[in-house]
Amino acid sequence: MQATVAVRRRELQFVRAATGRRTKLPGAMTENTQTIVVRHPLVQHKLTLMRRKETPVAEFRRLLKEISMLLAYEATRDLSVTRVEIETPVQTMSDAPVLDGKKLVLVGILRAGLGIVDGMLEIVPSARVGHIGMYRNHETLEPVEYFFKVPGKLHDRTVIVCDPMLATGNSAVAAIDRMKRAKPGALKFVCLLACPEGLKTFHDAHPDVQVYTAAVDERLNEKGYIIPGLGDAGDRLFGTR
Decide if residue 148 touches ligand URA (CB under 6 A). no
From CA 158, how far away is CA 186, in angstroms rounded?
5
- Region for residue 207 given its phi and psi (left: phi exceeds 0; alpha: psi -120 to 50; beta: otherwise): alpha
Considering only the stretches 20-28, 148-156, 208-216, 219-227, report the one whose residues sit in contact with ligand URA under the rule CB under 6 A: 219-227
Smaller CB distance to ligand URA: residue 160 or 230? 230
232 is catalytic: yes
Set 39, 62, 128, 136: catalytic member:
136
116 membership: H or E segment, kind and range: helix 113-123
Binding residue for ligand URA (CB under 6 A) from 37, 47, 75, 167?
A: 167
82 is catalytic: no
* Min separation Cβ 194 and ligand URA, Å: 10
Cα atoms in the Cβ-side hemisphere of radius 13 Å centred on 166: 33
Smaller CB distance to ligand URA: residue 128 or 136? 136
Smaller CB distance to ligand URA: residue 61 or 157? 61
Decide if residue 226 touches ligand URA (CB under 6 A). yes
Binding residue for ligand URA (CB under 6 A) from 165, 179, 191, 192?
A: 165
136 is catalytic: yes
In the chain, helix, strand, coil percent, each to 5?
Answer: 35, 30, 35
Q: How many residues does the chain have?
A: 241
Q: Which of 18, 66, 11 is nearest to 39 (CA)?
A: 11
Decide if residue 233 touches ligand URA (CB under 6 A). yes
88 is catalytic: no
From CA 205, how far away is CA 197, in angstroms rounded?
13
Decide if residue 197 touches ligand URA (CB under 6 A). no
Q: Produce one character per residue of 79-103: b if its CB has 16 or more CB atoms within 10 Å, e if not.
A: eeeeeeeeeeeeeeeeeeeeeeeee
Report the interface residues with ligand URA, using CB under 6 A. 165, 167, 224-226, 229, 232-234
